[in-house]
Structure 1
Amino acid sequence: MGQAPVVYGQSSRPPRGDYSRAHEDFTCAQDFDAYTAADHDTYHRLYERQSALLPGLASQAFIDVLPKLGAKERIPRFDDINEQLWRATRWQIVAVPGLIPERAFFSLLANRQFPVTDWIRKPEEFEYIVEPDVFHDLFGHVPLLFNPVIADYIQRYGQGGLKAEDLGAGEMLARLYWYTIEFGLIREPAGLRAYGAGILSSSGELQYSVQSPEPRRLPLELARTMRTRYKIDTYQQTYFVIDSFEQLFELTAPDFTHLYEELRLLPEFAADSAPLIST
């Protein structure tokens, strides 16, 4: 048992998390007893701060299922969430020590298992953390796994990810995930709302994404989304909007093989939606 740490992008800081605990599929047992009183307090304060910002900005579908995470006063036990999650959508969350390789990530999703980092940020990282921690993964991602349509969409994404890896199209599909599951917006009867985990777990980007006049908000269209680069160190300059979760599921139903072939011949778009010059 034990795996090599995983790094995405460039960073001078070594990856956090104890990868010696990881099994072959990069999952591990949630080390619940390792959480300190300070860890639980950090989770509680993050939950309180973020949940107070949700009304009028977050998807009502997300707000309705957020209580499924359990008591906000402490980091929940994953097994407690899984009892309800399995009954609702036949999904489970599994602990991981941190970032995991893309193929391992896709394989877990394809088998209706969502990887959740089990460590939490330090108090001094309260406002911003480089890597996803247990608060981002639990608060941002897990509630909508109780929604049958989103649950099926994420499984389909995992299945498509394995295929995209074999076709050399992983980056194009990663952009779809980024602009939907991480930074997606939805138009609900009450107005524009956020459903992406990266937005829902961020105090600043939640309001910015929904209300600021600065970013561009475009209807979700597969080819355009897969051609658009994204920002990892600032708020997004472009967001893609869906009209319903059912629309998202239907858009991703076709086989993407021919779409990948077509997109390889086209220029990409910068994060601010300006086309890049093809060379």
Structure 2
Amino acid sequence: MGQAPVVYGQSERPPRGDYTRAASDYTCAQNYAAYTETDHDTYRRLYARQSALLPGRASSEFIAALPALGPHERIPRFEDINARLMPATGWQVVGVPGLIPELDFFRLLAARKFPVTDWIRTPAEFDYIVEPDIFHDLFGHVPLLFNPVLADYVQRYGQGGLKADRLGAGEMLARLYWYTIEFGLIREPDGLRAYGAGILSSSGELVYSVESPKPQRLPLTVERAMRTRYKIDTYQPTYFVIDSLQQLFDLTEADFEPLYARLRGLPEYTADGQILAPGL
């Protein structure tokens, strides 16, 4: 029977992806035979462009883990990645037709299953795509799932998401995900580097986030990240910086329930750091 498409934010077109293939948890088999030679060429060119930009900009942990994705001349098969990923950290990638509901997303992460969109952008979308595709999900997210610390953090996020949903605090936790897993920066001995998937899969933002003087870069605190709104259609005006992946894991060790209650009474920040009056 399949599932209904999922939409976040605003778009001029309906969501892409064949949701009629989705099971009750929104997962689906990777239809590898459906990829065209153009699809494989798009993946190869995206991989080549991004990998060339990584030195001096991407975190050392990411660069070290990237070869675990396997050959990049063609779109990888999920089962081939899982043959390496499962023994490394107990994670596996599972196919999804596109964006999925938050609760289903949290449940998959809590079970150490990372949802990967199984379609790829068109050549016309080479430089920018609204929705995450297979390149963003595989190249941006999956390499660091081979890192035990980040792998445990992502599972903890999924477990925390299930609780946040029950407490009505999903938006606060979504901001933490945005500013760490998607757009996080890390300070290494040789300088500032990116570890967030949204940065690592974007040619423009990878350079901008690390090198531009325009954005503000703040030491990560869970409270400040949860109080900061974000934008989905521009480079980030604010990034949060950690000193190690272990620090990220340690910062999220506490029970967030008392924090959620306290933050509801505090003003929020705009994406560029301006404080907002309560209720705006």
TM-score by length of 2: 0.99
Q: Does 1:7 align with 2:7?
A: yes
1:148 matched to 2:154: no
How far apart, in 2, do the equivalents of 1:64 and 1:124 lie?
A: 31
1:171-211 Cα shifts (integer Å, max 9, x gaps): 00000000000000001111110000000000000010001
Match status 1:49 vs 2:49: yes
- Quote the offset at 1:12 in angstroms: 2.3
Q: Distance in 2 between matches of 1:160 and 1:77?
A: 30
Residue in 2 that maps onto 1:190? 190
C-alpha separation in 2, matches of 1:59 and 1:79: 26
The alignment yields a C-alpha RMSD, in angstroms, of 0.5
CA shift digits 1:28-84 (9 cap, x unpaired)? 000000000000000000000000000000001100110111111000000000000
- 1:27 maps to 27
Structure 1 runs, 4 residues or longer, greater than 6 Å off: none
Q: CA deviation at 1:260?
A: 0.1
**TM-superposed deviation, 1:277:** 1.7
Distance 2:30 2:278 in 1: 47
Identity %: 75
> Quick one: which amino acid aligns to residue 148 of structure 1?
P
Alignment match, 1:237: 237
Amino acid of the structure 1 residue aligned with 2:107: S
Structure 1 unaligned segments of length 5 or more: list them.
Answer: none
Gaps of 5+ in 2: none
Matched, 1:272 2:276: no
SS at match of 2:94: strand
Separation of aligned partners in 1, 2:17 and 2:43: 17
> What one-letter code is carried by the residue in structure 2 that aligns with 1:238?
T
TM-superposed CA distance for 1:11, in Å, is 1.6
1:10 is displaced (CA, Å) by 1.5
Q: Where does 1:171-186 land on structure 2 (aligned, <5 Å)? A: 171-186=171-186
Q: Which amino acid aligns with 2:182?
A: E
CA distance in 2, matches of 1:11, 1:41: 27
Aligned residues: 279
Matched, 1:255 2:233: no
Structure 1 residue 20: Cα displacement? 0.3
Tell whether 2:120 aligns with 1:123. no
Q: Secondary structure at the match of 2:224?
A: helix
SS at structure 2 position matched to 1:142? helix
**Counterpart of 2:80?**
80
How far 1:152 sits from its partner (Å)? 0.2
Q: What pairs with 1:219-234 in structure 2 (closer than 5 Å)?
A: 219-234=219-234
